[in-house]
Structure 1
């Protein structure tokens, strides 16, 4: 059975055009002003809603294997699909850590039985696995994740010789978490000396400070320039860091770019005044910072200084989050509401729909050299999302699909809703429920 989506406003490559789109055998078979269906075609009238390529989230933590109480590939990929994310790239700080080629392939095998969105995984870097990184096939992983600041677990790469080796030899893109650990430790000690164990959550942005971010991200940029490495700096949070990523890049330059940058949806949505209301719910690393930083990041997206928008989805249990500052883990569940939060910026006149699609789909496909995804193009995989910009959506505990069953957006009403999501041509979400359990596919890359 083919599927014809009629009367949709297609958002693609900087344009919005009302056209029909035909899905056949999991791919986009035809895009035209008018398509006449045959007897073997299911017709869906989009009624003027907006059709976009599914978001490709290049930064998630699904907690499997190792932490089933927080999240798993099945639950979190369903939350992705309900949020309009059709493909994800998942991080290596699980248990066992994804720091060997064997662990990497084990993870792919696990996802092939559980993920309802398309998937890829990072190989994790450590101070002593350079030989493993050298053996990595460039098409085997989305990238090499390097924690240049301890965030979770013991994957901190703090040996400068190890970093030099990684940047000189990594066969694929290096994605970095940049925070300088000694700078953070110093601020933690000062806070503990003043407050003991009762450090206010409002100080998180000062403890995981802008200085810690800049010191580490500038080192990453320096190493990338020195070794001509392909560097992607994840989750920028400060106005100062943006100065390192000019001049702006165009989509056509991303596949060969030396250095690119990313921002996450929560750093575009929240600011440090929200700690008073939400506390540990928005405690994340790197931290949510000032309103001025948030506005600088939004401007950098529009100016193409920032190339990609992602989530850094990182669920923890509600009970864990109720601990005092030093024991409350950092991380926020976000995939189900990432696109909806970005559409708030559209409604507020800060982003265009075209810019949102560029940063969540086109640019990710280009930077990671994905095969046949990220655009509304004939022959491409039919990873599609239908947006209803006029139908509000309220986040409740009952409609959360995260395994952890909480969200900083609970009780919030967004101005838009996800009307439908297709993954590889299969309708997976109908605007209310997950309607199919068709499994996603391993992402393929066009790399030499």
Structure 2
């Protein structure tokens, strides 16, 4: 988990700290220290992250991945009122076209983590040789249940694979070489979707800094750095070229790039400024005095008003509506989805769609110690929601929800 994400987690969960008892005072410090040592990879926290919420508002993220969702209409509908406490139907009943349950253990495959979609029916899985250190990637057919190895991944000690993106028949990822927890250089790799050896994307000069988001754009790889800046490089190797006007920007959802990025430790508005890297179109989101935790997408923003009520609205400030009580403050996945916590009892979360007003119960409940997994769809590009539930993984493809 990146230091930036930890800051967002602390501020977000602090906002809801009245919902749980206090954790040990040194827990978040321990997590931050371990994270700096274990990995420097902002893009590692992508798509729907399952956040293990410890008592008192400390969290640990276990990330997923996603790819290339379709833009959503900015129409909005009223949210449920704060007095409503009903538990909605399970997500698989509300959106059967978008939800699968797959075994948490697959024959001949180590413990895996879902990382994204290779295509509309194929899930990308990552297995580990040790904590968070990938040793292979697999393709899982959601229709047939068949699994096949794509390739092995080998990285030096202290270097981790992250940021998977798919396009042009390739699966692409990055590795970040760090010294004392600080990113030094980022390298890019690919393997055929059909399976085969890993190939390095040779660059004419080293890419300085830590990569965050990747996108396959035709025959080129587009990437942004955690320090800011958007660049492209041919998938077959060559010169790294900066995207005009995107200095200090981050990839939001290609071709949209913006600043500040997803992680705003000083409380800035996330992606307030947007640039279309292909057309040059720009957008600046409206933000009002006293608003906090404002996180913006391509068409929508969400956050907390000065009176501590939560809202979502179009980027131009129009069509503002209230969010459900206890909503996530990580923003709206695909400009329409977020999670909200159910009151205790029973606890748990629902997935909520601001476009249709529908919600579905994720099935998560606190254990005897009051600990639970909290799902955050808006971390990353937000197409994949994946979380363990009993002996299964629940897989939700947000792009399939109409």
TM-score (norm 1): 0.26
Q: Which of these two proteins has the greater Rg computed from alpha carbons?
A: 1
TM-score (norm 2): 0.28
